[in-house]
Structure 1
């Protein structure tokens, strides 16, 4: 075991704190040994039903629709309004029968209906009817008296149902599919049948096998040269080899989310953020999280913070002989890094970590610290859903990537499910995938206790933003930060909505440079220089500067073209000391070649 590993005494302290912290372990027992027979019966029944609902709580969904239905039943005035709206929309749809609605008014911003073929009757009428149904349900979901959460759930799942019923999803009602079938002499449909059969039987075609092997970790993705220089039970720390003659003396530590593997930030050489940074003269360290198994069921948020972030900061300081470092966190890795930074900044710091290097800057990419408005992902996180997930994890000790995928597929069902199936089964166009999609399929498990703690503490109780989240037995606050912060949000983020990320401005008075980039949660971050159709907005609030709302910020921020990476790199360089001569990684510190061994941990069937 590496000599930087936490001591037995420190590990015992972690367990004691986790057991005492009622705000995060309330009503949760990670094991099954203390279950009564009736509790086990409840767990087994609920987990057996869970896959039918995509591992979402059917109770939570039923309560939402019952809330909406009862309030609508008691509101005859609202029923009359919706009846009038339905009549108007039905009339509008019927008018398409004579072709009078064709032309300029039919231009559609929905990519499913942009093709010129949709302007011809009867397809134009079907499209109009579908779009009018969407308009009706956007309004019908709003019934006075229904809770905000239930209203959002009704609206969301009404959209899911309509997306499933879209005329774009069926052979007979999609003119583009019909045209393709005719022009291919039926070949496209035959190929689509083969694709469906391969998916149904789970016997991949030769083309599928070839596609699955296109991206290999350590082969053509995650290839930036480096060495693992530190390892404990939870992480490997990768140090990347210098690629310039001189480097800034303050290294950059990257803390990725532990929900997925680290190499989203080191994909192919052309879009690797790590490679870009080392080519700009930065020494980069990357945390690679271990893929947990059943024995890790008791790993807690404290463990992830200490063994993950704090141990890594100490190891970077020791390895680089650096009194100060830059730290960057992505997604939940950024949330965890912000907690660590706040804990280190308070009086007394964190017991056992008094000798860590100082954090010179903090960068948070698509990372929420206030979860009061978590976007559509928050629809799947309430007490009922957490209870169901606890049942799932108690038996096996972890949550698998496939079990998590249900919620994320709901967020993008139009693109990830229905449009994809239309292309593959009706058009015969098998998705070739790319490096980002290959990374997305390389899932990671979540330990049972940690998963429960972060859902309850962050999503349900918003404890971090409210100053109630405890590290080392004492609450932490971002108001204790003293270093400048660089924060990034993405325009189409369903996981960390940019307005939620922007709330960081309310929780600390330090200088914040905020960037809003085009793209989504992953693609907006993996936005290398030269990437087509990318742009961003950027503005800096000075230390103790006045508050501006997100909309005010958007109106005044400076616009930049292409990638935001150069702006961030320039900011890092501007907060770094003068470059010094680069040194190779000492062979005595190398435990393994990058990308290491933890990233290779996978489990059959996942």
Structure 2
């Protein structure tokens, strides 16, 4: 980009640089005071560490300014101040456009921001002697503030926005304002063009029938695409925090379609988005009248002794509790295997979501749930905050400042298709599991009057984790292997909570790690695991086949609606379409 392509700004004076230094100092003080209030005392720092960080910041700041003066405003050939491995590393995608380095003013802004970000992050990490949760909250708050204050988020300090504004005569800002007002109207940040997708046509389009319906869920039976199928059917339990079709996106990404094509009888639970009639639902309902009801329904329909199961995220947590209840009642043989997609049972290391379960947050959740259910937009905003740089500020720049058209992307369409949560269940889930971590305490939780103990579960389990998962961290998912007692295969997939799961073989993306022998600890697993390029889905299919490879013809009840349970409607059904 030529320097004439952007508005020529005035270079800062020494007085203005001093003003920014004072602003940084006040911001630092506010954050430390907030953290001190959370602990009820002055935050303890190692004086030598703080002195070393402050000296380093001062030296690097002076060096940056001196390089700027000595080079006549040309910094692009100078090294960036932030260490390559730091959160403020110069490879940050926000500053990937050459304009950030080719124009001296914007290059100075960029490097100054990276330097300040690195300084405040290191200072936050220097806090010691406090509760780990307090330190985690301080780090989360600092990161969120720094992401919000990035110069890329403001028109006058973003060279790409300035160039676009000059070229379009400001039309980008007018278009961006329309986008912003529309988002304010619906109370949710837009990520994609939703008009390009229609449930049952080009998304959630795998053929099937709804064959069973309760006030809590619809059961979908998918039409087989092979002449024979595994005798033991599969029931998929997706999370009710989101719509089920994360596992049935466009046909080339659909796990459901792929599993059907692999010769498996596939059933899937489509949960109802909560309304006022569901205000008294608790976890017992999702276990008994949800998962166990679906298991018994499919067993009875196909006249089989057991089923394979998959539980994704919160539905995986619930599946573990379901297995524990069945084990306590001597009915564990109803489930032939359990697969867990990025699920947790021990929440001691559950990541930044644990920051949203303190007393103040719970009071806010109760206020937002006055009608008996929590609006799904609140949960969507919470998940966006966990990755604010990618899921908030990236779209603020593209949608509001640059006025770009929304791209059609099925995954982002699903991400914005929120579901409501029953208020009582949601409160219990946050307090009993995330806050108090009771599920891993034998007998601490009872379901339908029966105390449950995860260590009594002997069901063969396939546990999948995501290497970059920010919702169910690897260390947390691993703890499933320490709490279940049956034969187990642990697999680590590349990418995160969604892309690590939705990774079809045809895409040839990412990789996974697995060990031929069980390992006692996560460190042992990481040391022993070997890497395989591409999707882990075929590994899972081979594991399922090893449990029982018996085949049956796809006739009678193996065809949706042809058995005792008649078709109610075509997939994907009404529940997933309800808003």
TM-score exceeds 0.5 = yes
Q: Deviations over 1:140-164 (max 9, x none)?
A: 2132233221211122111111111
Q: How does 1:93-172 map to 2 (within 5 A)?
A: 93-97=64-68, 98-99=70-71, 102-103=76-77, 105-106=79-80, 108-120=90-102, 121-141=104-124, 142-172=126-156
Q: 1:114 to 1:486 in 2, by over 3 A?
A: same
Shift of 1:474: 3.1
Shift of 1:79: 5.4
Counterpart in the other structure of 1:381:
357
- Provide the secondary structure at the position in 2 that maps to 1:112: helix
Q: 1:95 to 1:530 in 2, by over 3 A?
A: farther
Q: 1:334 to 1:341 in 2, by over 3 A?
A: same
Equivalent in 545, 551, 561 of residue 533 of structure 2? 561
Counterpart in the other structure of 1:86:
57
- Provide the secondary structure at the position in 2 that maps to 1:213: helix
Counterpart in the other structure of 1:425:
400
- Provide the secondary structure at the position in 2 that maps to 1:237: strand
Q: Which has the higher relative contact order, 1 or 2, with Cα contacts under 8 A spaced 6 or more apart? A: 1
Alignment check: 8 A CA contact 1:323 1:358 kept: yes
Counterpart in the other structure of 2:323:
341
Residue 509 of structure 2 corresponds to residue 529 of structure 1: no
Q: Deviations over 1:470-503 (max 9, x none)?
A: 2232332222122221111112211111121011
Counterpart in the other structure of 1:200:
181
Shift of 1:388: 2.5
2:282 and 2:46 map into 1 onto residues whose CA distance is 47
Shift of 1:532: 4.8
Equivalent in 186, 190, 215 of residue 171 of structure 2? 190
Counterpart in the other structure of 1:547:
520
- Provide the secondary structure at the position in 1 that maps to 2:486: coil
1:123 and 1:560 map into 2 onto residues whose CA distance is 42
- Provide the secondary structure at the position in 2 that maps to 1:250: coil
Residue 336 of structure 2 corresponds to residue 360 of structure 1: yes
Shift of 1:101: 5.6
**TM-score between both structures, scaled by the size of structure 1:** 0.81
Counterpart in the other structure of 1:231:
213
Alignment check: 8 A CA contact 1:292 1:446 kept: yes
Q: Deviations over 1:119-171 (max 9, x none)?
A: 33232222221111121111221322332212111221111111111122233
1:112 and 1:198 map into 2 onto residues whose CA distance is 21
1:218 and 1:145 map into 2 onto residues whose CA distance is 55
Alignment check: 8 A CA contact 2:217 2:290 kept: yes
Alignment check: 8 A CA contact 1:294 1:396 kept: yes
Give aligned pairs, total.
526
Equivalent in 430, 440, 446 of residue 415 of structure 2? 440
- Provide the secondary structure at the position in 2 that maps to 1:288: strand
Q: Which moved more, 1:366-375 or 1:580-589?
A: 580-589
Counterpart in the other structure of 1:403:
378
Q: How does 1:485-496 map to 2 (within 5 A)?
A: 485-496=461-472
Q: 1:445 to 1:540 in 2, by over 3 A?
A: farther
- Provide the secondary structure at the position in 2 that maps to 1:378: helix
Counterpart in the other structure of 2:7:
none
**TM-score between both structures, scaled by the size of structure 2:** 0.85
1:525 and 1:74 map into 2 onto residues whose CA distance is 41
1:381 and 1:492 map into 2 onto residues whose CA distance is 23
Shift of 1:259: 0.7
Shift of 1:105: 3.2
2:337 and 2:274 map into 1 onto residues whose CA distance is 30
1:389 and 1:181 map into 2 onto residues whose CA distance is 40
Q: Which moved more, 1:79-88 or 1:497-506?
A: 79-88
Ranges in structure 2 where 5+ consecutive residues have no aligned partner:
1-30, 81-88
Shift of 1:338: 0.9
Counterpart in the other structure of 2:441:
466
Alignment check: 8 A CA contact 1:226 1:238 kept: yes
Shift of 1:460: 1.0
1:471 and 1:426 map into 2 onto residues whose CA distance is 51
Q: How does 1:443-458 map to 2 (within 5 A)?
A: 443-458=418-433
Shift of 1:564: 1.1
Q: 1:405 to 1:537 in 2, by over 3 A?
A: same
Q: 1:209 to 1:109 in 2, by over 3 A?
A: closer
Instruction: Please report the RMSD computed on the Cα atoms of aligned residues, expressed in angstroms.
Output: 2.6
Counterpart in the other structure of 2:478:
502
1:85 and 1:66 map into 2 onto residues whose CA distance is 28
Residue 265 of structure 2 corresponds to residue 290 of structure 1: no
Shift of 1:62: 8.3
Alignment check: 8 A CA contact 1:113 1:168 kept: yes
- Provide the secondary structure at the position in 1 that maps to 2:506: coil
- Provide the secondary structure at the position in 1 that maps to 2:505: coil
Counterpart in the other structure of 2:200:
218
- Provide the secondary structure at the position in 1 that maps to 2:390: helix
